[in-house]
């Protein structure tokens, strides 16, 4: 490796996060069990500083773009890139992880998982996501993915005496390992066909016709399968409901929010950039996965009594929408998916946050019936849950509508009108189970008169802000839409530039 191409400073946020995670790990050894608050605060500080560094990197990238230069800065001999797409995604991830810790503090304390491991492993999982978002090489990509996955396998198993959690961890691990295997197999085929691990190198060799097409197609099939597993798209979705249900809600939130952003950038770089020439091939595979996800996700969600399982199936259907944005293989579609994922992360965080704040020791708020008559017992929480549900259902004035609109626009714009019709038909079916939650909260009588657990004040305030953000972004979505589609456009341009070299 040539020292000049090391360029390590480009990766400042990751390097800082890595060092801090190690410091938190060491520091926690000297903090007594009863004073884990200190570690918690330190972790939040680390997250805040990481966010600041990422924002700086983002500003730098946007400045370069404004001056007409390429905003992508490469490091470690082109194995790592910092560009606006990665930086926007990373900001979302840091936010998503911070929300997990803030909402989950009281929940974790009551369940005895408010320990040092929680913080360090969470930080490492974040590091894994950030590496994934910046990877431009199969190796970096895979390392990031495994760092994320291993940290989360361990986290899910943290309540080690709890049968459901260990079962969930086991399932997640076995299927996750299988998915990694598939992905790795696919990547190795692509490597075999093109002789390179660099995404752009692979792309340009495929375009120039220097790769064995048969091998490339087979590789693509396995890569798409691996992606399907990681996103939780049908038919590779089996683990999602079980893991959501079994894992402590805190970790269901961690699995269900920020990593989706990492997965988005991962898919963008792997399929959108690396395998761009095979767009029609993987596009066709994604059509099947997307439609099946919409069908199974929405239909199965109707039958659920457990709200965590319901949210799991709802995630599957949302991932179907994300794939719909991808399968048109152009910048408009990717931008739509990016916006969808970004807003989904915010929405999902709010939904799990509400579940955790309403749980208390010895009582797990996880059945839809636990929300009965919530409007009478705590109108503010009921209103917030209402906003989350209508946003997920895609009813306007909430941000979920614009997420769906952007995907539908991408579909109709690329001539996939029939897919747009399928998508809206299944959103209609999806609306039913979101409406049912609202019905339970507003129309039913409460079963118990006991006041609802409301959680810590800081968590309450941030949760309220989070839910109001769904409305605010629904009324003023322009800034975020513009920024994210600009970032995607820049990344497409710089990827095209790299392929020409």
Partner 1 sequence: MTGNLLNLAIWVPILAGLIVLATGGDQRAGLARWLALAGSLAGFLVTIPLYTQFDLTSAGMQFEVLAPWIESYNINYHLGVDGLSVLFVILNSFTTLLVVIAGWEVIKERVAQYMAAFLIMSGLINGAFAALDAILFYVFFEAMLIPMYLIIGVWGGPRRVYASIKFFLYTLMGSLLTLIAFIYLFMQTGSFEILAFYRVPLGMSAQVLLLVAFFFAFAVKVPMWPVHTWLPDAHVEAPTGGSMVLAAITLKLGAYGFLRFALPIAPDASREYAWVFVLLSLVAVVYIGAVALVQSDMKKLVAYSSISHMGFVTLGFFMFANGYLNQYAVVGAIALMVSHGFVSAAMFFCIGVMYDRVHSRKIADYGGVANKMPIFASFFMLFAMANAGLPGTAGFVGEFFVVLGAVQVNFWVAFAAASTLIFGAAYTLWMYKRVIFGEVANENVAELQDVNKREFLVLAILAVAVLGMGLYPKPLTDVTLQSVNHLIELAAQTKLQ
Stretch touching partner 1 by CB under 8 A, among 13-21, 48-56, 61-69, 423-431 = 423-431
If we measure between CA atoms, which residue out of 119, 126, 135 comes closest to residue 96?
126
* Range in contact with partner 1 (rule: CB under 8 A) among 90-98, 268-276, 400-408, 492-500: 400-408
Nearer to partner 1, 144 or 394 (CB): 394
Q: Least Å distance between CB 408 and partner 1?
A: 6
Nearest to 119 by CA among 29, 211, 209, 242: 29
Burial of 304 (0-12, 13-18, 19+ CB in 10 A): buried
Q: Decide if residue 489 touches partner 1 (CB under 8 A).
A: no
The window from 40-48, 167-175, 306-314, 427-435 that contacts partner 1 (CB under 8 A) reads: 427-435
Q: Is 409 in the site for partner 1 (CB under 8 A)?
A: yes
Q: Where are the alpha helices (DSSP H) in 67-137?
A: 84-110, 116-134
Positive or negative, the CA dihedral 12, 15, 19, 25 is positive
Q: Would you give the DSSP letter of residue 11?
A: G
Tell whether residue 363 is a contact of partner 1 (CB under 8 A): no
Per DSSP, the residues of 342-400 read HHHHHHHHHHHHHHHHH-BTTB---BGGGGTTHHHH-HHHHHHHHHHHHHHHT-TTSHH
Residue closer to partner 1 (CB basis): 36 or 436? 436
Contacts with partner 1 in 295-334 (CB under 8 A)?
Answer: none
Q: Name the one range near partner 1 by CB under 8 A: 2-10, 91-99, 211-219, 408-416.
A: 408-416
Binds partner 1 by CB under 8 A, chosen from 143, 412, 453, 454: 412
The CB-based long-range contact list for 123-126 (8 Å cut-off, 24+ gap) reads 123/17, 123/20, 123/21, 123/24, 123/43, 123/46, 123/47, 124/21, 124/151, 125/97, 125/151, 125/152, 125/155, 125/254, 125/259, 126/17, 126/47, 126/50, 126/93, 126/94, 126/97, 126/258
In three-state secondary structure terms, 322 is helix
Minimum gap (Å) between residue 72 Cβ and partner 1? 22
Contact partners, residue 428, CB within 8 Å, separation at least 6: none
57-65, 87-95, 352-360, 396-404 -> range binding partner 1 (CB under 8 A) = 396-404
**496 contributes a contact to partner 1 by CB under 8 A:** no
**Residue nearer to partner 1 on the CB measure, 266 or 402:** 402
d(CA 193, CA 200): 14
Q: How many residues are listed for the chain in this entry? A: 501
Residues 6 or more apart whose CB falls under 8 angstroms from that of 162 comprise none
Stretch that binds partner 1, among 104-112, 229-237, 308-316, 414-422 (CB under 8 A): 414-422
- Distance between the two ends of the chain, CA-based, in angstroms? 19
- How many chain residues are in contact with partner 1, going by CB under 8 A? 35
Choose between 5 and 482: whose C-beta lies nearer to partner 1. 482
Question: Using the rule CB under 8 A, which residue among 214, 235, 432, 447 binds partner 1?
Answer: 432
Instruction: Output 249 or 378, the one with its CB closest to partner 1.
Output: 378
Contact 291, 348 (CB under 8 A): no
| Smallest gap from residue 63 Cβ to partner 1 (A) | 21
Which residue lies nearer to partner 1 by CB, 145 or 484?
484
Q: Rule CB under 8 A: say whether 56 interacts with partner 1.
A: no
One residue of 425, 461, 465, 472 binding partner 1 per CB under 8 A: 425
Q: Taking the mean position of all CA atoms in its chain, how far away is CA 158?
A: 21
Could you please report the per-residue DSSP string of 54-84? HHHHHHHHHHHHHTTS---EEETTTTEEE-H
Using the rule CB under 8 A, which residue among 119, 138, 352, 401 binds partner 1?
401
Strands 73-75 and 80-82: antiparallel
Q: Among 85, 261, 395, 462, which residue sits at the site for partner 1 (rule: CB under 8 A)?
A: 395
Q: Which residue in 498, 381, 488, 369 sits closest to 436, CA to CA? A: 369
Residue selected from 477, 492, 498, 499 as contacting partner 1 according to rule CB under 8 A: 477
Q: Which of 134, 406, 466, 494 binds partner 1 (CB under 8 A)?
A: 406
Instruction: Report the residue from 78, 298, 375, 466 that binds partner 1 according to the rule CB under 8 A.
Output: 375
235 binds partner 1, rule: CB under 8 A: no
Q: Are 430 and 436 in contact (CB under 8 A)?
A: no
Which stretch in 93-101, 253-261, 293-301, 410-418 sits in contact with partner 1 by CB under 8 A?
A: 410-418
Considering only 191, 442, 453, 460, the residue that binds partner 1 (CB under 8 A) is 442
| Per CB under 8 A, 472 contacts partner 1 | no
Task: Please pick, from the candidates 427, 466, 491, 494, the single residue that binds partner 1 as defined by CB under 8 A.
Answer: 427
Binding-site ranges for partner 1 (CB under 8 A): 375, 379, 386, 390, 395-397, 401-402, 405-406, 408-409, 412-413, 417, 420-421, 424-425, 427-428, 431-432, 435-436, 438-439, 442-443, 477-478, 481-482, 485
């Amino acid at each position: 490796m040539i020292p000049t191409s090391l360029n390590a400073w480009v990766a400042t946020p990751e390097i800082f996060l890595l060092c801090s995670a190690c410091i938190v790990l060491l520091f926690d050894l000297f903090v007594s069990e009863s004073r884990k608050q200190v570690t918690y605060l330190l972790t939040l500080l680390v997250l805040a500083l990481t966010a600041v560094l990422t924002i700086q990197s983002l500003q730098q990238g946007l400045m370069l773009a404004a001056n007409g230069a390429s905003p992508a800065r490469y490091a470690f001999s082109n194995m790592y890139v910092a560009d606006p797409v990665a930086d926007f995604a990373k900001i979302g991830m840091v936010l998503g992880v911070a929300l997990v810790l803030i909402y989950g503090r009281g929940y974790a304390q009551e369940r005895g998982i408010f320990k040092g491991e929680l913080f360090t492993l969470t930080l490492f999982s974040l590091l894994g996501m950030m590496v994934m978002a910046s990877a431009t090489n199969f190796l970096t990509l895979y390392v990031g993915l495994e760092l994320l996955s291993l940290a989360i396998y361990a986290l899910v198993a943290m309540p080690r005496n709890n049968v459901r959690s260990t079962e969930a961890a086991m399932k997640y691990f076995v299927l996750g390992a299988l998915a990694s295997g598939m992905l790795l197999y696919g990547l190795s085929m692509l490597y075999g066909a093109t002789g390179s691990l660099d995404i752009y190198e692979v792309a340009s060799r495929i375009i120039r016709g220097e790769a064995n097409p048969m091998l490339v197609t087979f590789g693509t099939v396995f890569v798409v399968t691996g992606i399907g597993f990681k996103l939780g798209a049908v038919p590779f979705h089996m683990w999602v409901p079980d893991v959501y249900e079994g894992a402590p809600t805190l970790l269901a939130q961690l699995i269900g929010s920020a990593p989706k952003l990492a997965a988005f950038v991962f898919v963008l770089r792997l399929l959108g950039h690396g395998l761009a020439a095979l767009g029609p091939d993987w596009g066709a595979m994604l059509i099947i996965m997307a439609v099946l996800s919409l069908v199974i996700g929405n239909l199965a969600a109707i039958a659920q009594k457990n709200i965590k399982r319901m949210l799991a199936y709802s995630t599957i259907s949302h991932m179907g929408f994300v794939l719909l944005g991808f399968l048109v293989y152009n910048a408009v579609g990717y931008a739509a998916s990016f916006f969808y994922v970004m807003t989904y992360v915010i929405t999902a965080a709010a939904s799990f946050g509400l579940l955790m704040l309403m749980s208390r020791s010895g009582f797990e708020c996880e059945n839809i019936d636990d929300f009965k008559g919530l409007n009478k017992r705590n109108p503010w929480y009921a209103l917030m849950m209402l906003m989350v549900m209508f946003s997920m259902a895609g009813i306007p004035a909430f941000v979920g509508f614009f997420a769906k609109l952007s995907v539908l626009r991408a579909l109709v714009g690329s001539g996939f009108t029939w897919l747009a019709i399928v998508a809206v038909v299944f959103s209609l079916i999806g609306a039913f189970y979101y409406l049912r939650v609202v019905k339970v909260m507003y129309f039913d009588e409460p079963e118990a008169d006991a006041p609802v657990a409301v959680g810590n004040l800081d968590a309450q305030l941030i949760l309220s802000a989070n839910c109001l953000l769904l409305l605010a972004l629904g009324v003023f979505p322009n800034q975020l839409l513009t920024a994210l589609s600009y970032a995607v456009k820049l990344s497409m341009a710089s990827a095209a530039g790299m392929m020409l070299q």
